[in-house]
Amino acid sequence: MRRATLRRTAAAEAPAGGPDDSAGSQAPAVRPDPGVSPQRSRGRLWSALRQPGRGQLIAAVMLFIVGLGGVMQIRINTADDTYTNARREDLVQLLDGLGSESRRLEDEISQLERTRTSLQSGADTQRVAREEAEKRVQVLSILAGTMPAEGPGIRMRIADPDNKVDADVLLNAVEEMRDAGAEVMEVNDTIRVVASTWFSSDASGLVIDGRQVSTPITVEVIGEPHSLEEAARFRGGIVSEITGPQIGGSVEIERLDRVVVESLHPVRQNQYAQPASPPPSPR
């Protein structure tokens, strides 16, 4: 410490913690200074540790202030309120950033909502189309005879002791039933009558779709029971034709609330015909 006070005159323009003290420190080799040799510096450090002086006391006060301020600043910095000591411009900038971010996110939200709505409506449309198609498939497969069917209708039992009911008579009967609105017809619980059903008679008896028909013939028809029965019974119709003197059979008709038709018509793939337009593709 004594040495420092002796050099006070030199310290006025030499580095002393002041603003100009970094001027010559970049090139110490160019300016050889007898006071900067490591041995003398270390010796100064040791003597300072051994015999503290007034300068050290002042340095201690300064370091005390720095330590206090540093701890305060660290405490402020680590505290949760990071924005309390931010400047107004910084806060405005932060707010601007947050505002634009939230706008961007809102845009994204509305876009995603639009996407969701369109996807939902697309799914709805697809579902409706599929339900419609399934309904049509059901109706058409009932028509084509590939699905069992049930409903109100009549059961007609034709007794033919002389085996005189031939294909013409039966075809007439089927036609009459169709005219009266029959939707599903079945002969003898085994033969489903569809659009392509054919009737024939040979020496052994009646043949429908290649299958022998035994007597008595039972025809089950699904449709409006009243009109079906009327269509069978009108004068010159099936009943009068069969019960007439030429055939001499008898016809029994009962109206039923529930007629179950479980026989199926075998599906045959078309060999030549193709649908003219492509089937509606699901959207």
What does the binding site for other proteins look like in residue numbers (CB under 8 A)? 3-5, 7-8, 10-12, 14-19, 21-22, 25-26, 28, 33, 35-38, 40-42, 44-45, 48-49, 52, 54-73, 75-77, 84-87, 89-90
**Residue position matching structure tokens 């492509």:** 278
Q: How far apart are CA 218 and CA 189, in angstroms?
A: 7
Query: In this complex, which beta carbon is closest to other proteins, that of residue 92 or of residue 98?
Result: 92
Q: Are 179 and 231 in contact (CB under 8 A)?
A: yes
Q: CB under 8 Å to 6, separation ≥6 — which residues?
A: none
Q: How far apart are CA 252 and CA 247, in angstroms?
A: 15
Query: In this complex, which beta carbon is closest to other proteins, that of residue 65 or of residue 98?
Result: 65
Q: How far apart are CA 230 and CA 193, in angstroms?
A: 20
Query: In this complex, which beta carbon is closest to other proteins, that of residue 72 or of residue 133?
Result: 72
Query: In this complex, which beta carbon is closest to other proteins, that of residue 19 or of residue 245?
Result: 19
Q: CB under 8 Å to 186, separation ≥6 — which residues?
A: 192, 193, 219, 220, 221, 261, 263
Residue 106 Cβ vs other proteins, minimum distance, rounded to whole Å: 29
Q: How far is CA 253 from the centre of its chain?
A: 54
Residue 103 Cβ vs other proteins, minimum distance, rounded to whole Å: 24
Residue 35 Cβ vs other proteins, minimum distance, rounded to whole Å: 4
Query: In this complex, which beta carbon is closest to other proteins, that of residue 79 or of residue 140?
Result: 79
Residue 56 Cβ vs other proteins, minimum distance, rounded to whole Å: 4
Residue 74 Cβ vs other proteins, minimum distance, rounded to whole Å: 8
